[in-house]
A and B are shown apart, each in its own frame.
Chain A
């Protein structure tokens, strides 16, 4: 889910960037440092939308660097346990399938796929119902529920399920 949030960060600036363009340099450094990063609390910082406040700079002892506390508004994307997402399948194997929803990777184990769907190996591995009416393969769109999260320095990885009501394939690429 997307959120609009105000975050704060202490930005260190080298004296070479001081001058009339100090603010612009600070903002562009902020955007380079922050956009595309991921944290466990806020999720992925997708884009910085504005600067709310730049505090007074403090010169660090021993170096010429100055630290500015910057408050900025940004759009973040963070999945939650219990959230329903529409994701695109990227890989299918006998253990389950991988899907992507924005910058987040989701794995759905075969234990969390309905029992009437079986894995079919081949050039295009897929999970298919016994009557062949529903198929999950690469590029299928599925609605799934997040049941677990793992966060590391650069990405969020989720575990999902399609075994509940109103979850499963939305769009089969072969019928499009």
Chain B
């Protein structure tokens, strides 16, 4: 400490005694400093004779136990919850990550993701293990390591889809776009596991080439990359005379045998499979195939169409056969003796009617030319029908089965969809104009019975005897449940008698605190303080004075953190009245106004109707992430804050303050509290 001047005599000759920790002036002898903090390492002797350094290790992140000077009393047992969570998370990440052989950089990145997740409260309601696994997998994806979600699921013994759900949510909330998985990433890993010895590199290269070909043939879209890798490696191995069986490959690649076979079959269907090994290594076919699901879908469509045509043809043939049958009968009738004149006439008429009805109301046909005429008519009719039928089939989205009876239906097919289209248009209007009430609410909610057939409804209700039977069956089925209910009721009745009945209301899911409705800042602060029970030492009258002078601070919803911050600020100022009363109040008012405008702007931008407080919190928490400002250092100097605000005030206009540009100190304060930085 050079350059120190003694207060007593003004001399500059100061002596420092490290042993006693004093700074003494040699001129007048006055002690300038006492108990100087030294940065030396001290040693103590152990019982075994060895010596060890005195001191504690303090962890790099998170608040450690602050070493108490002089006292030894246990102040603040344990760390804050947030620090504990982060420490736990770090430990788990390291444990899991080391099992996956991830390097330190990846583990640190994973821990950063975890910190972000915790700050966005994404760990709430989820198993810690899932969140950790999701963070690790996110790192694997962004770094491009050959780790699959399946590996993590294997380690944790958790369903891979559950992990996938957590992972997708995390990626969405943290706005991290993980690049799509490239199956080529997995080849080296699997090739190594399949033990190709020296030819490992060659086999890998061949497998990569096969994969490229598969990609161009649209085989890899929508498929698990591990399955494709397995198929490619199997073929590559065979090409290089390695006898790897399907079973070995699937044990390494972790897919099902049928999946692998399917991939091989699909590859077989591509033209590339027809090339020889040498040709394949040299030539690249130009044409690309369609994805297998697309070709399968098209094939199914064609099959359906063929079926329809076939069924129509069948109907046709049947119709012809029946008409031939009728014709034969008529001939037989005619060939019989014509003695019964009237009867014959009758029968003739009858048969004519029969044929007419069987041919669906055709014109009358002569007996002699019945066959020819019938077949001719049939052909005409069916051609007509086919033309009409296929036309309607093309028009309708779901072509109904052909056939005479169903032709009408196929014609009517498009109508409902068109109707529903019309309605969906109006629904789109409703979306864009949400204020419009649906006009079809009948009065005060009475049931509109139009279009409901009472008989049909009655059919759904059981009569007495049926009801009794069903009741018996149901009682038998649910006997245990009824028993439980009875016991529960008995228990409640007993407890009520004894007077110790605790009304266990069904637990409502953590209800968010309602936003404080207040007309002035002071009122809002008071209400918030009541809720939070921060301090009973705050002088409310002074608070009120402050804010009344500030005046005109706008009504706001959900600026709880602002209130918290301002109350903290105020509570730190022991004597708020010492400052010129108006200014802090104005500051508070002014400070809150820009906050309101930003928040409403944000709300408009988000355009969602959610509870006011969550967006406020969410908005703040998003902001720091976006702005990436370390909130710690910019924290708490109430005097500086007030000064800045005063400067602003002097300018006389609500200009954007530096604090606002930095993302608002209040957000920083919030983080400050939580992160413990």
| A and B: bona fide binding partners | no
| B positions within 8 Å CB-CB of A | none
Q: Which residues of A contact B (CB under 8 A)?
A: none
